[in-house]
Structure formats: C-alpha cells, structure tokens
Amino acid sequence: MKICCIGAGYVGGPTMAMIALKAPDIEVRVVDMNAARIAAWCSDTLPIYEPGLDEVVKKTRGKNLHFSTDVKGGIEAADIVFVAVNTPTKSYGVGAGRAADLRFIESVARTIAECARGPKIIVEKSTIPVKTAETIKDILAANGRGIAFQVLSNPEFLAEGTAVADLINPDRVLIGGERTPEGEAAMAKLVEVYARWVPLDRIITTNLWSSELSKLVANAFLAQRISSINSISALCEATGADVDEVANAIGRDSRIGPKFLKASVGFGGSCFQKDILNLVYLCDHFGIPEVAAYWEAVVKMNDWQKRRFTAKIVRALYNSVADKKIAVLGFAFKKDTNDTRESPAISVCRDLIAEQARVSIYDPKVPAEEIRRDVLGKDAASPLLSVAADAYEAATGAHALAITTEWDEFKALDFERIFGLMSKPAFIFDGRNILDLKKLRAIGFRVSGTGK
C-alpha cells in the first residue's frame, strides 16, 4: 500500500511518521509546496518541535517515510491520499473572520483531479466545515476521465506538545465515509491502516457528515470548558475563592472530570478559535443564530480573559506601565511546542506595548525573529520589544514578570534569584494572579533561601 499526505505541517508530519513507524510495509510520502519546510523535514532540525518526534522520524525516514516537494508525483503513486493542508479563518470576502478558508483544500482537490491516473481514496485529515467532502467529490468527479474516488473524513485529535503520545495511544480514531458498498470498502481499508496499533474498539466509523462535524464539536467542547473556568476565575478574584480549588472540587465529580479546567491567560493555538468561529458561521449559514451566539460566547470570553490579564498587570503597577520593564516568560501557545499561532502571549505583549511598557520576552523554543514578527508584524521594529537569552536576563530590572506559557524549565528557575534581580516593588504573575514567593513554592516553582 502507498500513502501520500499533502501538507507537511504540525499534523501531516507527525501523523505520517507514526503510520510509517507502525506499518513498515506501507510506503508513506509526505509532500508540501513549501520547499524550506520539506528541506527541514529531511534535515537534523525538524521544522516542528514535538517531544519524541525526532526519534520516530529518525527510525523511519529514508526507509518507508519520505518527504518531497513533488506533490503530483506523490499523488500519482498513492492508493490513499491524505489531505492535511491548513484551513485558516477566512480573512476576506463573504464570511471573513468566521468561515474557514478552503482555498488550499480546493486547490489540492483540483491537483488530484488533474494528475490521478487510477482510483484513489482521498482522506480529509484537515479540519473542515461539515459538507466539505461534497465539494471535494464534485471537483474530483469533474476530472473527465471517469476515475473512481472515495472521499473519507478522518479528523485528527492530537494536541501539540503531546502529539507523539496522542498518536501512539489515541482515545479514538474517527473515520467517516459513504454508507455504500464502495464507501464501506474504503473505510475498511483505512481501518486496516490504524488497526496495526489502535485497538479496533477505539476505531469509530460514522457517516461522512457526522465525522466532519464531530471534529469541530470536540474542539468547541474543549474550548468551552476553558472559557467556563476562566469566567469563574474572575468571580473567584472578586470573592476570595481560589479558582484552582474550585476546579479541583468540581472536577472530582466524575460527570465533570478534571481535564481542561485549568484557568489561564486564555486558550491559544491555531485551532480552537478558528474551529469555533467556523462552527458559528455554519450555524448562521443554516439559519440557527441562537446556536451561533451560544458558541461565539466561548471566543468572546477568551478575548476578554486575555485583555483582563493585561489590565491586571497595569492595575498592579499603579495604573501605568509606561517605560516600565515587563518580563514575559513563554511565548509558545503552550509548553512543549514551538508553535506561536494565536498564542495569548502575542495579545498580552501587544497590549503592554500599546501601554508603552518595555517588554522583554524569553521562550525556550521560539526563535527571536518569530517573536518579533508575531508581536510587531513583518519587518517592523520597536525599541519597546526585546528578546532575552534567558529568564534571568528578562527579569533583570523588570517591574513585573508574567509567566504566559507553563514550560517545565520555568519550574526549575530560582525565583528567589529572579525576585532579587527585579525592580521593587516587583510583581510576579502566573498567567492569572500575582504570586508571592510562598505561593510560587506552593504551586511547584523553585524558590531557594527563605522564600520571604
């Protein structure tokens, strides 16, 4: 069996590396039009940072895993073509700011239609609006050569930072297809791929639309939990309740469960906001504005939480941060990834710079250039933004320090020393509240000396 995956990003790269690892008899080719990205996949410095990924790629690359810019060649040779291209929020025209921009999906479908010489199974791996398979089928059917295609939906549920563990041991694999003999046969073929390492009872098959929609709904439910606890964090601050204690108390109810109840600066990442906005757009499109408004509130709460965090810093610093140095620790949208897409740290830094603060940022994995581009825009510069070589440099002379990404290495910093380096009175925020050294120690940070 030969598999080709179009899109060598955060999803295409790791998922295909895992298939190659678990199915040595399958030849897997990952293709992308971004030559620099493909070159990085072929080098010792992979384009994405994911714990455990280097080992998986090292074991398979050059054997049954190949990376290439030859998109057409990859499609032609494959029995199964995965589509893992980006599906960002549309920034122009009808549906701007909400609908998914499907131009990359459409362009891939046209390329497949143009260069396929025999029947193929096309697998939607990208997150897309429900009914996208219909568009893909239409474009493929117009190829004029009478080639039979089956379109399946196989959304990806991995989270960045834990992608390898999620792929090795997924809660479930979801495969949607047409309930026809040809559709069932295509689904069975894809089940056969995952069944090499995923127990059959964790492989769910559904109709196409259920599978497409389930992906959006899964992300909406996860993000909703974060917005729910973040909304409660504001009430906790007003009343003296502790949001971690409340989260623990409610999470012990097995009907609620403990996961995704960590109050934060707000959720980030390339998908939660984009997928909820996509869901909102779909609801409006199908004439159910009440449902659209319900889900939109999850994103509005997240925006408010991010603004509220900056406002908290400004308030603590006597209502002005102008010309004060603020250290920001962590810039990736979560720990163990170099991905900064929609990172809450971006909004926080922009808001602080708008208040004329001098922001000094440190992140263990995000390059300085990327940080500057994300905060200021391409080719822009500002004397108010600097990137520090380490956390101690960022903290030196700072009036406040905000931990915006919970990298494990920050827990090993000596906060007594950090505190000593800062301008007094110094304020340390953990992405939510002001913490003194005692509280920092209580929540697992290292504080040498007396901790006073």
The answer to whether 342 contacts ligand NAD (rule: CB under 6 A) is no
Q: How would you classify the pairing of strands 65-68 and 27-31? A: parallel
CB of 182 to ligand NAD, least distance (A): 26
With CB under 6 A as the contact rule, which of the stretches 16-24, 264-272, 385-393, 442-450 interacts with ligand UGA?
264-272
> Can you tell me the distance from the alpha carbon of 278 to that of 310, in angstroms, rounded to the nearest whole number?
27
Contact code string over 102-141 relative to ligand UGA, x by CB under 6 A: -------------------------x--------------
Q: Is 157 in the site for ligand UGA (CB under 6 A)?
A: yes
Dihedral sign (CA 158, 161, 165, 168): positive
Contact status: 310 vs ligand NAD (CB under 6 A): no
- Pseudo-torsion of CA 421, 424, 429, 433, nearest 10°? 160
Residue tagged active-site, from 4, 5, 271, 349:
271
The pairing of strands 65-68 and 203-207 is: unpaired
Q: Which stretch binds ligand UGA (CB under 6 A): 90-98, 263-271, 381-389, 419-427?
A: 263-271
Q: Exposed, middle or buried, 171 (CB in 10 Å: 0-12/13-18/19+)?
A: exposed
Q: Identify residue 406 by its one-letter amino acid code.
A: E
- Smallest distance from ligand UGA to CB 191, Å: 20
Task: Please give the Cα distance from 128 to 275 (Å, whole number).
Answer: 8
What's the min distance (Å) between Cβ of 130 and ligand UGA? 15
The DSSP symbol for 88 reads: P
User: With CB cut-offs between 5 and 8 Å by kind, which of ligand UGA, ligand NAD, none does residue 28 bind?
Assistant: none
Q: How many CA atoms lie within 13 A of 13 on its CB side?
A: 25
Active site (annotated) includes residue 271? yes
Neighbour tally for 45: CB within 10 Å = 8
Residue 226 contacts ligand UGA per CB under 6 A: yes
Per CB under 6 A, does 126 bind ligand NAD?
Answer: yes
37 contacts ligand NAD (rule: CB under 6 A): yes
Binders of ligand UGA among 305-364, rule CB under 6 A?
333-334
Residue type for position 30:
V
Query: Closest approach of Cβ 46 to ligand NAD, in Å?
Result: 12
Tokens linked to 260: 């995704």
CB 334 within 8 A of CB 405: yes
Regarding 277 and contact with ligand UGA (CB under 6 A), the answer is no
Instruction: Tell whether residue 38 is a contact of ligand NAD (CB under 6 A).
Output: no
Distance CA 25, CA 19 (A): 10
Smallest gap from Cβ 47 to ligand NAD, in A, equals 8
Residue 342: CB partners within 8 Å, gap ≥ 6?
268, 269, 270, 272, 273, 274, 333
Site for ligand NAD in 2-21 (CB under 6 A): 6-12
Nearer to ligand NAD, 126 or 224 (CB): 126
CA angle 161, 167, 171 (to 5 degrees): 105
Block residue for tokens 């568009």: 135
DSSP state of 134: H
The verdict on 410 binding ligand UGA (CB under 6 A) reads no
Q: Which residue is nearest to ligand NAD (CB)?
A: 9
Under rule CB under 6 A, residue 104 binds ligand NAD = yes
Please name every residue paired with 328 in a beta bridge, in sequence order, or none if there are none: 361, 402
- Taking CB under 6 A as the criterion, which residues in 136-175 touch ligand NAD? 156, 158, 160
Residues that bind ligand NAD (CB under 6 A): 6-12, 32-34, 37, 71, 84-87, 104, 107-108, 126-127, 156, 158, 160, 270-271
- Catalytically annotated residues: 271
Residues that bind ligand UGA (CB under 6 A): 127, 156-160, 219, 222, 226, 260-262, 264, 267-269, 271-272, 333-334
